């Protein structure tokens, strides 16, 4: 709902926008609103500035300071450029460089060029991809080119009316402290017209450089370097058939190229192959949702594919399905992560290519099955807060202290994985190759991916997870979520779903409380985060995590059965407990009046 402020102030802000917005398409939108005196719409577009958060910008596209448009993007880039000029890492020639990429969304190319030209106007050489590219390639290019900063214009899997702007630092990872807060302060201080240079002048001065296909070649070579059994792909790649969908996004060019050059047969869903920011064939271009892969699954059945895969619009996350007894079975993000950990760590240990002190990284809400698999293969496991910037923080620390170990791979439950160290964010291109390779590896031994997953369950126990999200609309939404978290902290449950709570972990207070003895340990060495975890006596884990960017709270639950329990028995027992946990969560919502 729009927040109503003084109409004169609204009109003043709207006229300011019209004065400084150079793109006629967006300027005319606001001029027409002023002419019609459309107060409600003006209020929604101007009651506040679109917030530049720790990761960048994300919002609805349109004219106004509370929208994504060229002026808002230019002002954000002006603030970012000021921080880079003062604190950016310089390249070997002493200069400052920026890399800019964009995805398939509305106006992404416009926003990307605007970003590059503001960098150029500030004397920072901008390297711009000439057409859409995946987010992981932006991260790779920042590192490869020795750039100071990177920006990718994307709103990931948000609805078509959204676009966004994510910022990366010189190590190719999303910005974190202290740069994040400092950049936000610089952006807030920008007013008036940002520095500007025309495209032709920037080209002539060498301040705007378009990247060519060499960067694609380097990225593809990097992906192939991550292979565990390259000879298997060379010799038997043609034995595998994959049905793939980029969900109208950026993934097709590189996924098809990588897998095709490895000899794997790739059949891409034709009506979803071409980039289209309207995402016309899906409700949501999110590979976490089964409906997004519906067409790929239908084509996979017709083609008798060995595996079905889909990537999200900026190709940093991947979903997969494999043949089962009753057709294709979708793998959860937790299951695919466990399979990748088993294949990469186990395969490299078998071949003698595993580092002396291998490290696997997961988030605190990711299945503990991955920990057991990784530790079995000799890896040290690091837990991080949710968000890939935290995984990149571990990588940064290992770069500085190699004696602590070598990062091999990591991921989070929401279908994001990173294999190797040449990218510092989720990378669905490399994950697609590795998923294909692990499927081929099992196929070459007369087994399926599900066969291997069931073997992991037999060895380490059956694990299953659920996630329950709830929005709280209206101005009271954030307060309602805060009250729920306060209640859970002040009066933590003694039991959940009939199972006693053993430990309460508070990631905001950095404490672990033993429910039976009341002993409190300050033993959580992670950045403060508004997350609570309840560890039950049967080792089930229930986590509560409010969103930091929208009025939403997520509950995560993971339940396991003992190793050796027959699969059907284990699955039945686990699902009964998960259903009871779900009921408990709904009771918490009901207690605070959630609809």
pLDDT digits (tens, 9 = 90+) for 544-578: 999 866 678 999 999 999 999 999 999 999 999 99
Do 356 and 493 lie in one domain? The reply is no
pTM of the model: 0.95
Do 257 and 285 lie in one domain? The reply is yes
Mean local confidence (pLDDT), 509-525: 96
Mean pLDDT of the chain: 95
Q: How many domains does the chain have?
A: 5
How many angstroms separate the CA atoms of 484 and 592, rounded? 7
Q: Catalytic: 156?
A: yes
Q: What is the pLDDT of residues 60-107, one digit of tens each?
A: 999 999 999 999 999 999 999 999 999 999 988 889 999 999 999 999
285 CB burial (10 A radius; 0-12, 13-18, 19+): buried
Sign of CA dihedral 367, 368, 370, 373: negative
Do 189 and 315 lie in one domain? The reply is no
> For residues 438 and 431, is the Cβ–Cβ distance under 8 A?
no
Do 20 and 131 lie in one domain? The reply is no
Own/partner pairs, 273-276, CB within 8 angstroms, 24+ separation: 273/245, 273/246, 274/248, 275/103, 275/104, 275/132, 275/246, 275/248, 275/249, 275/250, 276/104, 276/248
Do 92 and 194 lie in one domain? The reply is yes
* Residue corresponding to tokens 């500035």: 49
Q: What is the pLDDT confidence band of residue 3, given thresholds at 50, 70 and 90?
A: low
Do 354 and 266 lie in one domain? The reply is no
Do 252 and 321 lie in one domain? The reply is yes
Mean local confidence (pLDDT), 210-226: 97
Catalytic residue among 108, 139, 148, 156: 156
Please say if the pLDDT value at position 498 is more than 60: yes
Which residue range forms the structural domain that includes residue 154?
A: 50-211
Do 398 and 440 lie in one domain? The reply is yes
The residue among 330, 357, 391 that closes a domain is 330
- 3-class DSSP state of 412: strand
The CATH number of whichever domain residue 520 belongs to comes to 3.30.310.50
> For residues 104 and 57, is the Cβ–Cβ distance under 8 A?
no
Do 350 and 418 lie in one domain? The reply is yes
Do 509 and 488 lie in one domain? The reply is yes
Please say if the pLDDT value at position 424 is more than 90: yes
The CATH number of whichever domain residue 108 belongs to comes to 3.40.120.10
Do 555 and 585 lie in one domain? The reply is yes
């Amino acid at each position: 709902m729009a927040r109503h402020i003084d109409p004169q102030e609204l009109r003043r802000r709207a006229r300011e926008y019209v004065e400084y917005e150079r793109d006629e398409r967006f300027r005319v939108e606001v001029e027409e609103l002023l002419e019609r005196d459309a107060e409600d719409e003006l209020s929604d577009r101007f009651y506040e500035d679109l917030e530049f958060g720790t990761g960048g910008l994300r919002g609805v596209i349109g004219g106004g300071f509370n929208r994504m448009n060229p002026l808002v993007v230019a002002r954000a880039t002006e603030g970012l450029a000021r921080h880079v000029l003062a604190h950016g890492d310089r390249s070997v020639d002493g200069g400052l460089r920026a890399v800019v990429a964009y995805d398939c969304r509305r106006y992404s190319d416009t926003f990307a060029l605007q970003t590059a030209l503001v960098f150029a106007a500030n004397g920072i050489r901008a390297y711009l991809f000439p057409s859409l590219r995946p987010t992981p390639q932006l991260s790779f290019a920042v590192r490869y080119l020795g750039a100071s900063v990177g920006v990718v214009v994307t709103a990931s899997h948000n609805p078509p009316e959204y676009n966004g702007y994510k910022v990366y630092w010189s190590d190719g990872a999303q910005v974190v402290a202290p740069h994040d807060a400092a950049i936000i302060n610089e952006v807030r201080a920008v007013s008036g017209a940002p520095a500007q240079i025309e495209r032709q002048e920037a080209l002539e001065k060498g301040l705007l450089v378009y990247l060519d296909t060499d960067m694609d070649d380097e990225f593809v070579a990097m992906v192939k370097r991550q292979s565990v059994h390259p000879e298997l792909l060379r010799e038997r790649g043609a034995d595998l058939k994959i049905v793939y969908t980029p969900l109208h996004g950026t993934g097709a060019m590189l996924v098809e190229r990588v897998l095709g050059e490895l000899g794997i047969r790739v059949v891409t869903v034709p009506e979803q192959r071409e980039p289209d920011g309207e995402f016309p064939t899906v409700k949501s271009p999110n590979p976490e949702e089964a409906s997004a892969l519906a067409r790929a699954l239908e084509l996979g059945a017709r083609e008798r594919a060995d595996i079905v895969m889909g990537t999200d619009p900026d190709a940093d996350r991947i979903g997969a399905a494999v043949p089962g007894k009753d057709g294709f079975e979708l793998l959860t993000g937790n299951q695919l992560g466990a399979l990748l950990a088993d294949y990469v760590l186990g395969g490299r240990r078998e071949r003698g290519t595993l580092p002396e002190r291998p490290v696997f990284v997961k988030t605190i809400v990711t299945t503990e099955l991955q920990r057991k698999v990784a530790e079995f293969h000799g890896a040290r496991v690091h837990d991080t807060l949710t968000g890939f910037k935290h995984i990149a923080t571990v990588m940064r620390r290992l770069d500085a202290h190699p004696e602590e170990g070598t990062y091999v791979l990591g991921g989070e439950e929401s279908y994001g994985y990173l294999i190797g160290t040449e990218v510092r964010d989720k990378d669905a291109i490399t994950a697609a190759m590795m998923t294909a390779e692990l499927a081929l590896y099992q196929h070459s031994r007369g087994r399926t991916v599900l066969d291997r997953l069931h073997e992991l369950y037999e060895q380490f126990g059956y694990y299953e997870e659920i996630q329950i999200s709830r929005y709280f609309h209206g101005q009271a939404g954030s307060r309602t979520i805060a009250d729920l978290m306060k209640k859970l902290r002040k009066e933590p449950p003694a039991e959940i779903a009939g199972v006693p709570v053993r430990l309460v972990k508070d990631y905001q207070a950095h404490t672990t409380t033993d429910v039976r003895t009341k002993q409190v340990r300050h033993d959580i060495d992670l950045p403060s985060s508004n997350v609570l975890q309840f560890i039950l006596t049967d080792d089930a884990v229930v986590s509560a995590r409010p969103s930091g960017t929208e009025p939403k709270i997520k509950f995560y639950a993971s339940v396991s059965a003992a190793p050796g329990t027959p699969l059907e028995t284990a699955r039945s027992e686990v699902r009964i407990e998960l259903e009871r946990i779900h009921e408990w969560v709904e009771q918490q919502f009901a207690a605070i009046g959630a609809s």
